Each structure stands twice: as structure tokens, then as C-alpha cells.
Amino acid sequence: MHNDSNPSHPGPLSDLVVIDLTRALAGPHAAMMLGDLGARVIKVEAPGSGDETRGWGPPFVDGVSTYFLSCNRNKESVALDLKSDDGRQVLRELIARADVVCENFRTGVMDRLGLGTTELLELNPRLVILSITGFGHDGPEGGRAGYDQILQGEAGLMSLTGPGPEEPTRVGVPIADLLAGMYGAFGVLAALHERERTGHGQVVRTSLLASVVGVHAFQGTRQTVAGQTGRAQGNSHPSITPYGLFHCRGGSVQIAAANDSLWRKLCAAFGLDPQTPGMVTNAERVGNRQQVTALLEQTFADLSPDEVLDQLATAGVPAGRVRDLAEVYNWEQTASQGLLIDVDHDQLGGIRLPGPPLRFFSVDSSGAEREVTRTRHAAPPVLDADADALRRWVAGESVAGDD
């Protein structure tokens, strides 16, 4: 089986079974998060084609989509035709043994399959059901299909991103999908916690729309409280200056002088006067952002990024470089945080994947920490890789996790 967890530290969710009926990204990401934490995740796919992301590319490596690899580690795969009696029966048997079902079908599809929420909870009263949609399952536009870039636009994110108001820009990763998956996994854990008190499962619903509105943060209250509509303004923070990207000789650096004390430290490091008229307080600097930026970039004009960053580090001003992904994945700090994992793929052999973003530590009575993070992970499965073993399991011929 593909549930190849660390035998010493299998993860805090190792007693849970998750049925993943989702495809594309939002739902698979939610289920993968649960799998990363040790849950047994059984991915149910369409026969022949599987999850649609198996065909998304390039890039493909030996016919395998790297997109699919990004959101399906720590899962098993079974192909079931849900329009057939056999497929639906096997799925019902799996659901009866599960703790969580994840689905991201359009509203009404699960009902047409005879697996609506009423039927699911009759089959398994302790079941937690995660349902992710594009715009929400109800409301005047609840039935609309939603893909990430559509929702980045509809939910206002693109209006806040890019070089300026006339060039709305998508975020470089499918952030609406990813956030919906994260909120979905968060909601599942809350419902599982409540199940410990009530003994009953429930439905957790989120959407790509909700996920983006949920991270509007200060831009949201800027609109709802102050009545100001935020607009894209490139790499400058709308409420703090200097906070953003600044050009220097042969490159650029990012600086976060998020308060007046840091502004004074920055000025001292480069021989500038922090009492320059119009630049004394943050509010003044925000109002004169172009002048502040021009002053700093003139100051950095003869300095390389490394020289600027060295002086900022000495001064204690938060700053950093802009790395490409090749640099990120070759960075020692990335590896030190467990953000790279090596797995054995049934078709590709040994491959390296981005790793889970959480680490866990036990603390003894003296305060000493011991890391108990799961360290062994399973590669994303090839289509239908676990069909025989799963059918034996639902038939009672093996226990969960047996080969």
C-alpha cells in the first residue's frame, strides 16, 4: 500500500481515514494536508483518465504531470466508475469505514450519484464531509463553476496585484485553490474535534470565493470601515514606507522598515537624515512614497545587493533578496526546515518533492524539545495503484494499511 508513514512518528492524524473524491487542486490540496499529517487518504479517480491534473502540462517527466505530483503525495489511488453499481458500492464501503470525505463537485452532482449529505451521514453518522465549491454552494451565483484565475479576478485579488490599477495581475501560483484547500483542512480538523464531544459528523463548506475574501486582511477593513478601495501599486506596501522592493547596482533588495525606529536605523546605516522634512513619521513617508523611494534608490545606486543587505543586517533592519525557485530549492535554509522530501515513485523512481510546511516537537519536563515530525512520505500514486488491496480491505480480507 502507499500509506508509507514513519513507523516511529506516523503523524497526529494516523488514526483517520480520508476518502478523497476531489480533483484539480483545491480539494486535492486539502486532502494532501491531512495525508501529510498521517491520515490514510484514499483518492478515488475516474477509470482511464484519473484526476484531470494527470493530463495538465507540460512539464511532463516520462509522461507524468508535475502538476499532479504537487498535490497528491501521501495518498493511495483506486479507479471507480461512479456511474456503475459496482463502483458506487465499493465507494459506499470505503465511506462506511472513513472519518472524512472530501469532494469538490459542482452543486448537485453528489446528490445525482445518490451520495448527497443525507445519504452519506445515514451511511456513516460520524462522517465529516468537506465540500469545496467555486462561489459557494448557495446564493444567487452558487451554481457557477469556479477555477482559480476566475476567482482571483471575481474576489478582488487581481485588482490589488500588479504594477498598477490598469494592469490587474494574477498571483503566480493558484492561490485561491490553495487557500480553499487550507481553509478546508482547517475546518475538517475543527469538525473532528467537535465530533469528540457530540459523536456526530457534519458538513464543512468553503469556496474559492470565501478563501480569497478571507485573506483580504487590512485591504478588507480598509474598504468596509474606511470606505477606501485598494488598488494595485506594484511592490510597495499601501500603509507602510519604506516597505517593498528597491533597486540597487545590478539587482534589487526588499526592505521592511515597518516602524519609525527601523526607519531611523536604516538612515543611520547609510548616512541619511531621518528628520528629512516629509519623512519623519510613517504616515508622512506613505504620503511621500515616491520621494522616499527615490532617496533610497539614489543611495543604493553604487552598491550591489549583497552590500546593501550586509549593511541592513548590521543595522538590524529586516531585508532580503528576491530568489527564483532554483535558488529556493538549493538554499540550505529551505532544506533545514524539512521543505524537501525524497520519495520513491512507482514510475519515476526516486524523486524530490516540496515537503509539508509543518513540524512537530515534543517537550519534556525540563523544557527540552525533541522533533517528532513525520519524515517518511509516499510519492503521489499512479492511477489505480491500490485497487486490489483496497477491495480486499472493504471485503474484510485485510486491515487498513496492509499490503
pLDDT of residue 302: 97
Mean pLDDT by 10 residues, the chain (403 residues): 52 96 97 97 96 96 97 97 93 96 90 91 97 95 92 97 95 97 98 97 97 97 97 93 96 96 97 96 96 97 97 97 96 96 96 96 94 94 95 82 58
Tell me the sheet residues that pair with 264. none
Cell readout for 198 is 457530540
pLDDT score, position 156: 97
Active site residue 177: yes
- Show the cell assigned to 48: 482511464
* Given 177, 260, 273, 384, the catalytic residue: 177
Q: What is the 3-state secondary structure (H, E, C) of 239-265?
A: CCCCEEEEEECCEEEEEECCCHHHHHH
Q: What is the dihedral of CA 301, 306, 309, 314, to 10 degrees?
A: -120
Task: Name the nearest CA neighbour of 132 among 223, 33, 37.
Answer: 33
Crossing angle between the packed helical segments 387-394 and 85-96, to the nearest 10 degrees: 70
Q: Give the architecture (CATH level 2) of 243-320.
A: 2-Layer Sandwich (3.30)
Q: Report the alpha-carbon distance of residue 69 to residue 353 in Å, rounded.
A: 8
Q: Rounded to whole angstroms, what are the CA distances from 303 to 5, 256, 263, 299?
A: 49, 18, 19, 8
- Which are the contacts of 172, defined by CB distance < 8 A and separation ≥ 6? none
pLDDT for res 1 = 41
Q: Tell me how far apart the terminal alpha carbons of the chain are, to the nearest angstrom.
A: 5
Among candidate residues 402, 346, 403, 400, the one with its CA nearest the CA of residue 378: 346
Fold classification of 17-215+339-394 is: Rossmann fold (3.40.50)
* CATH fold match for the domains 17-215+339-394 and 243-320: no
What are the sequence ranges of the domains in the chain? 17-215+339-394, 243-320
Look up residue 397 and give its three cell numbers.
480480507
Q: What is the CA radius of gyration of the chain?
A: 25
pLDDT (0 to 100) of residue 209 = 98
Residue 5 DSSP code: -
